[in-house]
Amino acid sequence: MHQFFPANVAAAAEAKLNFPVIWGMVCAVNDIITSECGISNDRKTLDACTIVIFGASGDLTARKLIPALYHLYKENQMPPAFRVVGFARREKDSALWRAELRTALDQFSRTGPVDDKVWTAFAANLFYCQGDLNDDAAYKKLEAQLTEFGSGPLRENLLFYLAISPSQFGEVVEQIRRAGLLNKEGAAWQRIVVEKPFGHDLASAQRLNRELTRYAHEQQVFRIDHYLGKETVQNILMFRFSNSIFEKLWNRNSVDHIQITVSEKIGVGERGGYYEEAGALRDMVQNHMLQVLSLIAMEPPVSLEAEAVRDEKVKLLKSIRPLTPSDVARQVVRGQYFAGIVGGAPRPGYRQETKVKTDSNVETFAAMKLFIDNWRWSDVPFYLRTGKNLPMSASEVRIQFRRTPNVLFAAKCGESLDANALTLRLQPNEGISLHFNGKVPGMSLRVRPVRMHFSYDSEFGAYTPEAYERLLLEAIAGDATLFIRRDEVETAWQIVDSIRAGWEGRPLTNREFYAAGTWGPIAADDLLAQLGHTWHEPQVIK
């Protein structure tokens, strides 16, 4: 192993040497572990089935769902026999729908030019069913079309993807049940995939869950959050629980604090109407950020079964210390961007965006300090932040370890001796970095922070599925590990609702506005300064 390490770590950093082999051995993400453990290389058993997409003429279908299914087919990941039926109100036939999807695929395929031969074979499985969501006759028409596929699994094993407004979920599920397409019992299976938002507060989420589970078992409902399909997000559990050198450090004894950042370079744009109802808290914190937090901080599950993993995620969310209005005032910051420069181009302020009120108090930025009241994380602050019109788009988790005692090098080098940190970059340039201190070459005793970086692209350089590809495949297989359970949704909404209650009636202050192109309001820096901490901005990784 010595051949990979130069005599001086800092010299290696100066020479910009990479450590992919060593890091691949440290991380449990390499081919050796997956092949010897039999975890990832074994393909799931997939039954023949039909996927019914409600909202087949929508943007999600064209940009994400059909490209994902095409790529799965191209990689030989789909079931041996399958059909895809698009259900929408626009008048068209299967041939026209296929032509529209091909045009969209030319634009949104992640693998470059579409393979004509593969597309022709894939498109033969695509069918269109025209109908209104509230029309009983349309569902009878859908049932007849499915029956034409035969009486076997293509008719009985059904995955319903509701790429429609959540306000329509209940009615559609009721209709497919009445049409005899959804059963709670039986040898065949039927599953329902629903997109976020899962309500806009706790009460609406509970109401939506009651509507869904009135006609289907909770085990049949797959609440999708594309964030959980990202490769690095999934690797969190394997990284934590298969590497003893890190698992021993993953607690209050070694960790000083944890920062989770999801920054977006884009502004609200044409989504002003939606954002006026949602804001950063509902749009990002309630789902993506709390999901990542639960994976980072949860206890080891008793097994890798879906319910065991989801049990621990819910347990973690329920351990987050409740926030009273006075807690919210001290521990939560909101912000809103005004006009500024992003990437050299001018951006309007939020209040100048389309469909936004000129005196809006809606947050485009949110930051908070949360505490988890359990044995592992007692008194360790978790800092979460997300915002629009920030300098770059990036998602990462930074585990900041405690500083060394103020003797020896710490006493001599002072602030130049950086605390060790582990950064998990979720996007872009997915990877994991270890930050530590090294001696600068020379006669003097100078220290400099250096980084050992593992990159998915440089290490594997192979097929990495998009989030929707993985999640669709898991739904077809019936594996709910990466999907969100009912109690998980409702627990997350309890946290968000308490924050919104603390904001009620309070206008934004001057310290909560920030210029587009900056890293957020001054109030967010004040939040970390309470405990002597500072934000660590995501860096461009090459």
Neighbours of 152 (CB within 10 A): 11
Quote the pLDDT of residue 18.
44
Domain residue ranges of the chain, discontinuous segments joined by + = 49-195, 228-242+251-462+479-529
The catalytic position among 226, 288, 435, 453 is 288
Query: Which among 482, 465, 472 has a CA at the least distance from the CA of 228?
Result: 482
Beta bridge partners of 398: 259, 423
Active site residue 288: yes
pLDDT at 156: 94
Amino acid letter for position 480: A
Distance (Å, whole) CA 234 – CA 200: 26
pLDDT tens sequence for the chain (542 residues): 333 333 343 343 443 334 444 444 444 334 433 334 444 445 678 999 999 999 999 899 999 999 999 999 999 999 999 999 999 999 999 999 999 999 999 988 887 788 899 999 999 999 999 999 999 999 999 999 999 998 889 999 999 999 998 889 999 999 999 999 999 887 899 999 998 888 899 999 999 999 999 999 999 999 988 878 777 677 888 888 888 888 889 999 999 999 999 999 999 988 888 899 889 999 999 989 999 999 999 999 998 888 999 999 999 999 999 999 999 999 999 999 999 999 889 999 999 999 999 999 999 999 999 999 999 999 999 999 999 999 999 999 999 998 776 555 554 555 655 678 899 988 888 888 888 776 667 666 666 676 788 877 777 665 567 889 999 999 999 999 889 999 999 999 999 999 999 999 899 999 999 999 999 999 999 999 999 999 998 876 65
Architecture per CATH, domain 228-242+251-462+479-529, reads as: 2-Layer Sandwich (3.30)
What is the strand order of the sheet 365-371 is part of?
Answer: 447-455, 431-439, 421-427, 394-401, 255-263, 381-387, 365-371, 332-338, 513-515
Provide the b/e sequence for 122-131 (b: ≥16 CB within 10 Å): bbebbbbbbb
Positive or negative, the Cα torsion across 443, 444, 448, 452? positive
**How would you classify residue 15: left for phi > 0, otherwise alpha for psi between -120 and 50, otherwise beta?**
alpha
- CATH number for the region 49-195 comes to 3.40.50.720
Task: Retrieve residue 474's tokens.
Answer: 């898991």
**Common-topology check for domains 49-195 and 228-242+251-462+479-529:** no
Q: 54: left (phi > 0), else alpha (psi -120 to 50), else beta?
A: beta
- Token readout for 483 is 């999907």
